[in-house]
Amino acid sequence: MAETDLHMTSSIDQCQLIELGKHHHPNGNLTVVENGVSVPFDLKRVFYIYDVPGGEERGGHSHKTLKQLIVAISGAFDVLLDDGINQISVTLNRPYQGLLVAPGVWSKQYNFSSGSVCLVLASEHYDEADYVRDYNEFKKLTSCKISK
């Protein structure tokens, strides 16, 4: 599938909040994330973002094929999702919820609370060629949606 085909068919409607299993215990809660079970793809990479200075943003790109599940495992932050036509902002503040981000959707994280930790589960290993980091290029790749 060509790069533009991926972006043509992607929309923020393909992004969704996923409830991860929450097990309540008197001595503390437990959330389990299982490859291909609670996460709707096979995990290839896991990373986390922390100590984000006030007012700073993270992300600000889209992926051609990579899927992500973003979780606020501590604190809170907002995620902007943009498919080239529509935008929506989602607040993540529960460690038992993850936001599934589809390939071809521009996303950025912002409004990080003090001490927040952003966990990202990814469907692919790191590949710089999979990133679209320039918003104008992203808009060009998604401009064919308007004519549909």
- Give dist(CA 37, CA 28) in Å, integer: 23
CATH number at residue 79: 2.60.120.10
Q: How many C-beta atoms lie closer than 10 Å to residue 21's C-beta?
A: 12
Question: What is the predicted pLDDT for the residue at 5?
Answer: 47
Q: Among 19, 24, 66, 23, which residue's Cα sits nearest to residue 41?
A: 66
Question: What is the predicted pLDDT for the residue at 35?
Answer: 87
Question: What is the predicted pLDDT for the residue at 145?
Answer: 54
Domain that holds residue 134: 3-145
* Number of separate domains in the chain: 1
Q: Among 6, 1, 45, 7, which residue's Cα sits nearest to residue 142?
A: 7
Question: What is the predicted pLDDT for the residue at 142?
Answer: 84
Mean pLDDT by 10 residues, the chain (148 residues): 50 94 93 90 96 95 96 98 96 97 97 97 97 93 62
User: Looking at 7, 23, 61, 63, which residue is catalytic?
Assistant: 61
Question: What is the predicted pLDDT for the residue at 45?
Answer: 97
pTM, full prediction: 0.89
24 in catalytic set:
no
